[in-house]
């Protein structure tokens, strides 16, 4: 019987310096492929708004959408840890966060729920973990705040922004978060944060010093129509989707991805 990965296993992987490979999945077919190729963390992302629904951003994705896709993915995954995004405006208060996260776990089968933001979500992170719900934080470029951020730009470039991100990361860990995603962050800063935390840090466009990497599956396969500096088309050099996923996992594990050309900032 396949052993299901847990948040404790990911912490052990970090301690052993074993890189964590993560990809998104939104349906049963791709979820099985990822699981069979030993993807450690399968993220049911609100990126489904763009990838599945064809929207310009993630903001219209609903709780109903996330529960639906989470249930599909969690229903077939046997090994990977299933992390599911809390959608836009679904955790504006502690009570709302508790209710919606409970639904993602009980109805959607999520192993971990992911929330974007720093200080503003700390109370919710504490409440969720106190109620037995595992939480992943998300700092840097937070797509649900895309209008407030003014577009898709690297975050944490100046001293104050970097200091705030370091503080937020430590505070999220102290509040009970079991892992953290850093998106579009200078590689040096991402490395500092990764080394300062005991929980795993998964990067996307954040250099190669994080404890693992995540990409949107369709970006990694080169079928999203986006030319993203921090991604790589693994299907270009593979004879099947399965091989492309296996090559991605190997490249994350041996540290060859992301290469310097995939770093969005020093």
- Assign residue 201 a region: left if phi > 0, alpha if psi is -120 to 50, beta otherwise? beta
7-262 has CATH 1.10.287.130 classification: no
Question: Which is catalytic among the residues 107, 183, 192, 261?
Answer: 183
- Asked whether 243 and 33 are in contact (CB, 8 A), the reply is no
pLDDT, averaged in runs of 10, over the chain (266 residues) = 92 98 98 98 98 96 98 98 98 98 98 98 98 98 88 90 98 98 97 98 97 98 93 97 98 97 85
Check: CB of residue 23 under 8 Å from CB of residue 220: yes
Number of residues assigned to the chain: 266
Segment holding 96, helix H or strand E:
helix 94-106
183 in active site: yes
Give φ, ψ of 182 to 5 degrees: -115, 125
pLDDT value for 74: 98
Question: Helices marked H in 17-75 — which ranges?
Answer: 28-36, 48-51, 63-74
pLDDT at 186: 96
pLDDT at 1: 63
- Taking the C-alpha atoms of residue 223 and residue 51, their distance in angstroms, rounded to an integer, is 10
Using the 8-state DSSP alphabet, how is residue 4 labeled? P
- Where helices occur in 108-222 by DSSP H, the ranges are 122-130, 146-149, 159-175, 187-196, 217-220
Q: State the Cα torsion 70-214-185-94 to the nearest 10°.
A: 20
Phi-psi map region of 46: left, alpha, beta (phi>0 left; psi -120 to 50 alpha): alpha
Q: Please give the model's pTM, rounded to 2 decimal places.
A: 0.97
b (16+ CB within 10 A) / e for 81-114: bbbbbbbbebbeeeeebbebbebbbeebbbbbbb
């Amino acid at each position: 019987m396949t052993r299901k990965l847990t948040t404790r296993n990911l912490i052990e992987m970090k301690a052993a310096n074993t890189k964590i490979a993560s990809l998104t999945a939104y349906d049963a077919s791709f979820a099985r492929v990822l699981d069979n190729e030993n993807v450690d963390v399968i993220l049911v992302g609100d990126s489904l708004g763009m990838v599945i629904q064809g929207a310009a951003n993630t903001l219209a994705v609903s709780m109903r959408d996330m529960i639906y896709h989470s249930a599909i993915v969690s229903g077939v995954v046997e090994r990977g840890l299933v992390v599911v995004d809390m959608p836009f405006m679904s955790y504006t208060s502690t009570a709302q966060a508790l209710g919606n996260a409970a639904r993602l776990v009980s109805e959607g089968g999520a192993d971990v729920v992911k929330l974007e933001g720093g200080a503003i979500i700390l109370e919710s992170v504490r409440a969720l973990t106190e109620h037995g719900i595992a939480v992943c934080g998300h700092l840097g470029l937070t797509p649900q705040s895309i209008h407030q951020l003014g577009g898709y730009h690297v975050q944490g470039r100046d001293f104050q922004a970097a200091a705030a991100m370091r503080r937020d990361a430590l505070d999220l860990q102290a509040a009970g978060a079991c892992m953290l995603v850093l998106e579009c962050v200078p590689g040096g800063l991402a490395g500092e944060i990764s080394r300062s935390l005991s929980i795993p840090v998964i990067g996307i466009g954040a250099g190669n010093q994080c404890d693992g990497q995540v990409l949107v599956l369709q970006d990694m396969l080169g079928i999203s129509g986006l030319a993203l500096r921090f991604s790589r088309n693994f299907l270009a050099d593979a004879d099947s989707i399965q091989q492309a996923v296996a090559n991605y996992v190997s490249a994350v594990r041996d540290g060859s991805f992301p290469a310097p050309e995939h770093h969005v900032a020093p």
